[in-house]
Amino acid sequence: MNDTKAPIRLVLVDDHPLIRQGLRDLLQARHHFEIVAEAGSVAEARPHLEQPLAPDVVLLDIEMPGQTGLELCHELHERRPEIRPLIVTMHDRPGYVRAALYAGARAYVLKDRPAAFVVSAVEAVAAGEMVFPHIEFALLWDKLTRRERQVAWLLAQDFKNVQVAARLGIGDRAVEAYRANIYKKLGAHSAMGIADYIRRDGITERDLTRALRDSERPSRPDDDFTRRLPD
């Protein structure tokens, strides 16, 4: 009886051929990996993700022509959760790590990590684990609720309370309560302190696009704001 396990099926997605070659050479040397396809963009990769014999893990860069790797992560998370995305990137700023977490990536690996680490990360993701070595940088921002992130971003853009309230469709008292929560969680003491935190940790407007889109939806005035404050 043959007890050999099926190899871990991989798709490599990066717009730099040398990076794909390096990953291919590294992973093909291990017999428990099978590289079923390579692509230089999300558009090129998509047919290989839709077929019946889809990969177990997709290794992908963040910035590529057309759609980004984060957009593909979100798409897989929503439509094909059995395919696990693993980000391989040069970006080590916390904002990118957060964006990958929000998008549904299962791992975040820097391109300068040792070969053995990359191999172990792929194995861990295939086994259902998550690998985020830089997760500690993202935890502070992740303490904020979605609404608090919206308020924090607007305050950092020098919006006044009344402007934030109008933008989000909530009451002035609700903005004050959210502001107090944000200061406490981030250890900030002013809107400028929030802006400094956002700038230091690499949070970009793109990270918050989805949350801010939600804020455009009409909502009733938040006069009785205590019923709707985050836990």
Tens of pLDDT along 215-229? 444 333 333 322 333
Same domain for 151 and 93: no
| Range 74-80 contact pairs with CB under 8 angstroms and sequence separation of 24 or more | 74/103, 74/104, 76/49, 76/104, 77/103, 77/104, 78/104, 80/49, 80/54
Same domain for 77 and 112: yes
Tens of pLDDT along 10-24? 999 999 999 999 999
CB 8 within 8 A of CB 123: yes
Structure tokens at 186: 């981030």
Count of domains observed in the chain: 2
Q: What is the CATH number of the domain that holds 22?
A: 3.40.50.2300
Same domain for 41 and 61: yes
CB 43 within 8 A of CB 88: no
Tens of pLDDT along 123-178? 999 998 888 865 544 566 677 888 998 898 888 888 999 999 999 999 999 999 99
Query: Domain residues for 133?
Result: 8-138
